[in-house]
């Protein structure tokens, strides 16, 4: 069965609007509970984390009801970063991990992400089977076998200790002033505490969640506030997380922003020098800049590209036995340490390199000159299929012909929002703008 409910990272949408309703969350809970209780023997458990969105309470309760109805015991972590769920699922011997979050999306959205018993996100095949159960219905547990729910108070602290353990043993951040923007999201307590415990002088931003302000004017998608704070406070570096803290954007001491491509370039080069980069390969998506690929080529390293979505990056890493990957948007996956992207952990790796090298952030955050890249999003209406229109196909074909191998063109549907993403790269910036704008105009035209 093809997946219709699941996108590139679980189920996502506007809260209280199909499919993100309490009723659907209950059905999802029951279906995923039955899927992971293929046998009826022994104790079965699931850990659930969430970010700070107001709707998180509603979905947490609905999922718990669905899961316990199939005999699953539920362990509730409360607000924790997404990578904490990936960590604690195998640590607590759970059959399943669930994170309630829409990541970098606005507060009105929410989502449900799933992790298997190994702490890695579910495969497309698993999601297809769960979706089939949602539509067909599931057999409920007998009254005496209904599951229990329990609050876990120390989940965040377990996660924080794991994150700190990835920082070089015996090293501290004494003397470094760090701005950390938590996006009023899941890491609003964990990130400042970890940095402070390692000795940094911490300037916290986005640490006053009210259920409605997650990602609003802050965090990795809007780093301007943090950049201004870095300059105003004379900080050495800024770390910007998103709502569920699985991605990071860095800011150097001058207020300049470094994206995930620059972070991956630094880490890949450093790990290769230390003979830690397995296979000499970095895994990234089709969205990563051509400049990153050239940077790696010059060092005898290889960029392995995947479809968009950190889940596909991780799947490729596991197939190839590689240990470093990520996305331009700031997901940095280090499978030596974690099962999914971890913004705080990646930020610590950057700080560790600052300490080791003695160089400022500005010297470490600009590893290659990016090829000019332009990305524009076009929102489309429900039921529309703009990429199937002849006029759009013609505009794309014409753009590819004009690039004539001198750049890249990537047109795709978002897996999390009703958007068409139009991206192009080439050295000629005037041509770049002309091509992207031409395709955007055709995609946005009335069918």
Cross-strand pairs, 421: 377, 412
Which among 360, 79, 376 is positioned nearest to 230, based on CA atoms?
Answer: 360
Range with lowest mean pLDDT among 148-152, 287-291, 405-409, 439-443: 405-409
Sheet with 302-306, side-by-side order of all strands: 302-306, 281-285, 324-326, 332-334
Mean pLDDT value across residues 409-419:
82
Average pLDDT over the chain reads 94
Q: Residue 435 has what pLDDT?
A: 93
Q: Which domains are assigned to the chain?
A: 11-153 (3.40.120.10), 165-370 (3.40.120.10), 373-444 (3.30.310.50)
pLDDT in tens, 41-57: 677 999 999 999 999 99
Range with lowest mean pLDDT among 196-210, 381-395, 422-436: 381-395
Mean pLDDT value across residues 410-433:
88
Which among 89, 59, 24 is positioned nearest to 340, based on CA atoms?
Answer: 89
Cross-strand pairs, 178: 202, 237
pLDDT in tens, 87-142: 999 999 999 999 999 999 999 999 999 999 999 999 888 999 999 999 998 999 99
For the chain, percent of residues with pLDDT exceeding 70:
97
Going by pLDDT thresholds of 50, 70 and 90, the confidence category of residue 8 is: confident
* Measured distance CA(52)–CA(32) in Å, rounded: 23
pLDDT at 1 over 50: no
Q: What are phi and psi of 258, to 5 degrees?
A: -120, 125
Q: Residue 416 has what pLDDT?
A: 67
pLDDT in tens, 354-377: 999 999 999 999 999 999 989 999
Q: Residue 380 has what pLDDT?
A: 87
From the CB of residue 366, how many other CB atoms can be counted at a distance below 10 Å?
Answer: 15
Give me the catalytic one of 55, 101, 103, 220: 103
Q: Residue 41 has what pLDDT?
A: 63
* Residue 381 appears among annotated catalytic residues: no
Q: Could you tell me the pTM of the whole model?
A: 0.90
């Amino acid at each position: 069965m093809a997946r219709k409910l699941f996108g590139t990272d679980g189920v996502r949408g506007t809260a209280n609007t199909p499919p993100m309703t309490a009723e659907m969350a209950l059905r999802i809970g029951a279906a995923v509970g039955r899927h992971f209780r293929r046998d009826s023997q022994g104790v079965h458990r699931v850990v659930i984390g969430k970010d700070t969105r107001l709707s998180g309470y509603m979905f947490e309760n609905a999922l718990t009801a669905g899961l316990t109805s199939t005999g699953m015991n539920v362990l509730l972590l409360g607000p924790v970063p997404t990578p904490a769920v990936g960590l604690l699922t195998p640590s607590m011997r759970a059959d399943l991990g669930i994170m309630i979050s829409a990541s970098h999306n606005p507060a009105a959205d929410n989502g449900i992400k799933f992790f298997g018993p190994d702490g890695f996100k579910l495969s497309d095949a698993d999601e297809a089977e769960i979706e089939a159960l949602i539509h067909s219905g599931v057999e409920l547990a007998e009254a005496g076998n209904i599951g229990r729910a329990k609050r876990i108070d120390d989940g965040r602290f377990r996660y924080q200790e794991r994150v700190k353990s990835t920082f070089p043993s015996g090293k501290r951040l004494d003397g470094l002033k760090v701005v950390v923007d938590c996006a009023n999201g899941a890491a609003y307590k964990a990130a400042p505490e970890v940095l402070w415990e390692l000795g940094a002088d911490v300037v916290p931003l986005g640490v006053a969640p009210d259920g409605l302000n997650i990602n609003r004017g802050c965090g990795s998608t809007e780093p301007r506030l943090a950049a201004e704070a870095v300059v105003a406070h004379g900080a050495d570096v800024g770390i910007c997380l998103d709502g569920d803290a699985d991605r990071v954007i860095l800011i150097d001491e001058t207020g300049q922003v470094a994206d995930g491509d620059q972070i991956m370039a630094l880490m890949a080069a450093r790990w290769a020098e230390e003979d830690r980069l397995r296979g000499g390969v970095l895994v990234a998506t089709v969205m990563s800049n051509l400049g990153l690929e050239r940077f790696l080529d010059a060092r005898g390293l290889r960029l392995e590209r995947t479809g968009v979505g950190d889940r596909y990056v991780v799947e490729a890493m596991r197939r190839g036995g590689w240990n470093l990957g990520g996305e331009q948007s700031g997901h940095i996956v280090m499978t030596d340490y974690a099962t999914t992207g971890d913004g705080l952990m990646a930020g610590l790796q950057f700080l560790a390199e600052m300490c080791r090298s003695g160089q400022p952030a500005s010297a470490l955050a600009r590893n290659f000159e990016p090829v000019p890249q332009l990305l524009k999003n076009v929102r489309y209406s429900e039921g529309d299929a703009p990429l199937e229109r002849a006029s759009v196909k013609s505009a794309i074909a014409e753009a590819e012909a004009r690039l004539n191998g001198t750049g890249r063109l990537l047109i795709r549907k978002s897996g999390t929002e009703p958007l068409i993403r139009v991206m192009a790269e080439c050295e000629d910036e005037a041509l770049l703008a002309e091509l992207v704008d031409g395709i955007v105009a055709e995609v946005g035209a009335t069918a």
